[in-house]
Amino acid sequence: MKKTLFEKIWDAHVISEVNDGPTQLYIDRMYCHEVTSPQAFDGIRKRGLTVFRPKQVTCIPDHNIPTINQEKPIEDPISRHQVQALDSNAKEYNLQYFPMGHNKNGIIHVVGPENGLSLPGMTMVCGDSHTSTHGALGAVAFGIGTSEVEMVLATQCIFQSKPKTMRISVNGNLKDGVSAKDIALYIIAKMTTGGATGYFVEYAGSAVQALSMEGRLTLCNLSIEMGARGGMVAPDETTFEYIKGREFAPKGEEWDKALAYWKSLPTDEGAQFDKDIAFDAADIEPMITYGTNPGMGLGITESIPSLDSIDEAGRISFVKSLDYMGFKPGDKMIGKPIDYVFLGSCTNGRIEDFRAFASLVKGKKKADNVVVWLVPGSWAVEKQIKEEGIDTILTEAGFVLRQPGCSACLAMNDDKVPAGKYAVSTSNRNFEGRQGPGARTILAGPLVAAAAAITGKITDPRTL
DSSP letter assigned to residue 377? S
pLDDT on residue 419: 98
- Domains of the chain, with CATH numbers? 6-161 (3.30.499.10), 164-236+267-283 (3.40.1060.10), 287-463 (3.30.499.10)
pTM passes above 0.75: yes
SS3 assignment, position 165? strand
What does the alpha-carbon distance between residue 210 and residue 217 come to, in Å, rounded to a whole number? Answer: 13
Neighbouring residues of 387: CB distance < 8 A, sequence distance ≥ 6: none
pLDDT on residue 74: 96
| CA-CA-CA-CA dihedral for 415, 420, 425, 427, to nearest 10 | 70
Percent of the chain with pLDDT over 70: 100
Half-sphere exposure of 329 (CA within 13 A, CB side): 12
Dihedrals φ, ψ of 228, to 5°? -65, 155
Closest CA to 68 of 352, 369, 408: 408
Give the CA radius of gyration of the chain: 21
What does the alpha-carbon distance between residue 372 and residue 342 come to, in Å, rounded to a whole number? Answer: 6
Judging by DSSP bridges, how do beta strands 23-26 and 157-160 pair with one another? Answer: antiparallel
pLDDT on residue 323: 98
What does the alpha-carbon distance between residue 171 and residue 290 come to, in Å, rounded to a whole number? Answer: 26
What does the alpha-carbon distance between residue 298 and residue 230 come to, in Å, rounded to a whole number? Answer: 23
The full DSSP string for 237-293 is HHHHHHHTT-TTS--HHHHHHHHHHHTT-SPPTTPPPSEEEEEEGGG---EEE-SSS
Q: Tens digit of pLDDT per residue, the chain (464 long)?
A: 999 999 999 999 999 998 888 999 999 999 999 999 999 999 999 999 999 999 999 999 999 999 999 999 999 999 999 999 999 999 999 999 999 999 999 999 999 999 999 999 999 999 999 999 999 999 999 999 999 999 999 999 999 999 999 999 999 999 999 999 999 999 999 999 999 999 999 999 999 999 999 999 999 999 999 999 999 999 999 999 999 999 999 999 999 999 999 999 999 999 999 999 999 999 999 999 999 999 999 999 999 999 999 999 999 999 999 999 999 999 999 999 999 999 999 999 999 999 999 999 999 999 999 999 999 999 999 999 999 999 999 999 999 999 999 999 999 999 999 999 999 999 999 999 999 999 999 999 999 999 999 999 999 999 99
pLDDT on residue 263: 98
Neighbouring residues of 396: CB distance < 8 A, sequence distance ≥ 6: none
pLDDT on residue 361: 98
Closest CA to 111 of 58, 37, 44: 58
| pLDDT tens per residue, range 337-359 | 999 999 999 999 999 999 999 99
Cβ–Cβ contacts within 10 Å for residue 129, how many?
A: 17
Judging by DSSP bridges, how do beta strands 23-26 and 29-32 pair with one another? Answer: unpaired
Closest CA to 120 of 218, 203, 29: 29
Closest CA to 371 of 437, 421, 445: 421
